[in-house]
Structure 1
Amino acid sequence: MSLVHPPLKALATCLVALATGPALAQDWATREVCDVPQVALYEDTLDAPLAELERQAAEIPNGLGRFWRITAPGGAVSHLWGTFHSTQREVLDLPDMVLAEIARAKTVALEIDPVYPSRAAYRADVTHEGRYIADGQPSAYNTLSLDPRVDGWIRDRLDGIGWGRDSTDYLTLGALTEVLLWPPCEDFASGTYPTQDTLIQTLGHIKGARVVGLESAQRIRQKLDGTGGRSMGAAMLTVYGSYLAPVEDWKGAATGYALYLQGRIAVSMMQDRAYIESLFGEEGLDQLDYLDTWLLDERNHDFVEAAAPLLDEGGVFVAVGSFHLPGEEGMVKLFRDRGYRVERVAVPGEVQTP
């Protein structure tokens, strides 16, 4: 099973409109499978023993905790929050201390700002500009030699949301990735409940905060459709395609939510690796590592660079996918390396020590 991999799925909140009709899940993705009645840690759904995941997680710096106070060298205070890109009600039920900081923030900074900056940008998106292969050009997807299981899951997903199984013949790699970032079980709430990231953006907007994106909303697509994007596209479609594998019940998702709510981000990351390894072996881990050098590491550096001038002003609430926080290349360490004091703020319900 897969715990939801959180680094990027916020992008899907503004891209699910790519579907030509109502979002319809695959046959396995029923309300009975997708609705999680009880968030709890079900150890039998993990792809490695919990003790082993915890041992591996202990080696990752700053792997525990979702909420961090950042003090700039000049004394200005801001906050960093690790999100989970989901509409699950427990994920949307933000702690009071987090809500208070959103309410008083002068700036809310997210991975992207999905609000269209212009009429032209809106038109380009709704007409799917740049998402189709140019006339006479071959499909990059059909040269990737993906694992047959992943290829089947991807085609099932494309068919389930109205594009058709053979839309790989005319969609670019970037466009395919945009479509696949939205998981099947989120279809039921599409256009109704916000993801946690969208909720944070909305709350900040209501309170009058300036809302900014730390990167362009088109960055993923432009990366995969640019020079050299084919190898990264293969890694991304392998990893995110694997999250489309059918599941039999909701307990795996419940476990993912539980680990997140407990603040055990590094354990979630290790579970993600165990899941990929269970499907593809060492080759899959190589693909995941290659993907994360860009999806996490490079983007973390760019996020920190974009956020730094805002943090020097203070009053910023930074909200990014929780996998961006831990690690040697994680945002917590990168901010510290730049001279900021970054301290964990314990949130109710989180474990306090590994």
Structure 2
Amino acid sequence: MPAAADASAPQTRSPPPRASSYLFGTIHFGNDEELGLSPELLASALSSSFTLVNEIDLAAPGDGDLDRYRWLPPEQSLSALISAEGFAMAQTLLPQIPPPTLQRMKPWMVLALLEARGEQAGEQTLDDRLQRIASERGMRIVHLETAEDQLRALDCIASENQARVLEERLKTPQVMREMSERALRHYRERDLDAWLADVDRMVGLDGESKDIEMRARRCLIEERNQRWLPELLALLDQGGCYIAVGAIHLPGEHGLLAALKHAGYRIEAEPL
């Protein structure tokens, strides 16, 4: 699978043979204080690397053809998939989303916003900031997948099934708030195993909803890890890489850390 370099970078530098590479887990919400990071630390982390590797090109213009993954078809609405009480709670929890927009959202989008405390992806996310720093420095930038690859994984479960999970979550919104706060604490404490264990408990969901969540997780995490691995191994063989992907991709039996250890790489924790 060929590596897709960022054409907007003014020039690239060539790494020395087998230079050390770094694997950094990102998170898509929370401020620097909550994450235990600073802009200076984030910028300095890239100083010894030649290539930034991330999930998708965050600077690419939006593609209207991908809206089918995000929005319900015209004949459907969110309020038809969940109860009136659930829709009212979603409006209460996401006041920044106009009701007509909320009606069009697929349930996975609403769940993602609730998990991120209503914070929408923007220029202050770790992923976006790292890509901008790398671009400004003239680093090579490699993306592990396309935006469509990512959206297809997010939307791999039928909306009717996603809606069942959303309905359950909206019955106990405090559970999602508590999970979000624990996720930030686990990230700040660099305890990804505890974060994954918390995700796996699926507090507040019944058996059927847990089965749906497990299928979604396989699409979103495990199958993507498997697709990324061959290219990651090729890039690591070149050396000098700074790999920045969602932190939840790293821990666990099917995580990237276990896969890299199995491939023979020595992994050492670095303070940040």
Q: Deviations over 1:235-271 (max 9, x none)?
A: 48726983896449x8765543222111111212222
Give the drift of 1:302. Answer: 1.4
AA of the residue aligned to 1:272: V
Matched, 1:186 2:113: no
**What pairs with 1:177-326 in structure 2 (closer than 5 Å)?**
177-178=108-109, 181-182=112-113, 183-186=116-119, 194-223=124-153, 229-231=156-158, 234-235=161-162, 238=165, 242=169, 246-247=173-174, 253-274=180-201, 276-277=202-203, 279-326=204-251
Q: Matches of 2:51 and 2:73 in 1, distance apart? A: 40
Q: Counterpart in 1 of 2:37?
A: 93
RMSD of aligned alpha carbons = 3.9
Could you say if the C-alpha distance between residues 266 and 206 of structure 1 is closer, same or farther in structure 2, counting changes exceeding 3 Å?
same
Residue 50 of structure 2, aligned match among 75, 81, 106: 106
Give the share of equivalent positions with the same residue, in percent.
21
Q: Matches of 2:28 and 2:172 in 1, distance apart? A: 19
Unaligned runs of 5+ in 1: 1-73, 349-354
Q: Matches of 1:304 and 1:236 in 2, distance apart? A: 32
Matched, 1:139 2:66: no
Secondary structure, in 3 states, of the residue corresponding to 1:112?
Answer: coil
Secondary structure, in 3 states, of the residue corresponding to 1:161?
Answer: coil
* Residue-pair matches, total: 251
Does the aligned pair in 1 maintain the 2:144–2:228 contact within 8 Å? yes
Does the aligned pair in 1 maintain the 2:54–2:243 contact within 8 Å? yes
Secondary structure, in 3 states, of the residue corresponding to 1:343?
Answer: coil
Matched, 1:82 2:25: yes
Give the drift of 1:285. Answer: 2.6
Secondary structure, in 3 states, of the residue corresponding to 1:212?
Answer: strand
Residue 328 of structure 1, aligned match among 235, 243, 253: 253
Give the drift of 1:298. Answer: 0.4
Give the drift of 1:335. Answer: 1.8
Secondary structure, in 3 states, of the residue corresponding to 1:319?
Answer: strand
Q: Counterpart in 2 of 1:162?
A: 98
Q: Matches of 1:241 and 1:211 in 2, distance apart? A: 40
Return 290-299 or 145-154, whichever deviates more.
145-154
Secondary structure, in 3 states, of the residue corresponding to 1:335?
Answer: helix
Q: Counterpart in 1 of 2:7?
A: none
Secondary structure, in 3 states, of the residue corresponding to 2:252?
Answer: coil
Q: Counterpart in 1 of 2:11?
A: none
Q: Deviations over 1:132-155 (max 9, x none)?
A: 6667xx439688x65876555446
Does the aligned pair in 1 maintain the 2:169–2:205 contact within 8 Å? no
AA of the residue aligned to 1:139: Q
Q: Matches of 2:97 and 2:161 in 1, distance apart? A: 21
Could you say if the C-alpha distance between residues 178 and 107 of structure 1 is closer, same or farther in structure 2, counting changes exceeding 3 Å?
farther
Query: TM-score scaled to structure 2, two decimals?
Result: 0.72
Unaligned runs of 5+ in 2: 1-16
Does the aligned pair in 1 maintain the 2:53–2:142 contact within 8 Å? yes
Does the aligned pair in 2 maintain the 1:76–1:312 contact within 8 Å? no
Q: Matches of 1:240 and 1:335 in 2, distance apart? A: 38
Q: Matches of 1:244 and 1:89 in 2, distance apart? A: 31
Q: Deviations over 1:141-185 (max 9, x none)?
A: 688x658765554465677412527724xx6x4xx5346534344
Q: Counterpart in 2 of 1:52?
A: none
Secondary structure, in 3 states, of the residue corresponding to 1:268?
Answer: helix
AA of the residue aligned to 2:269: V
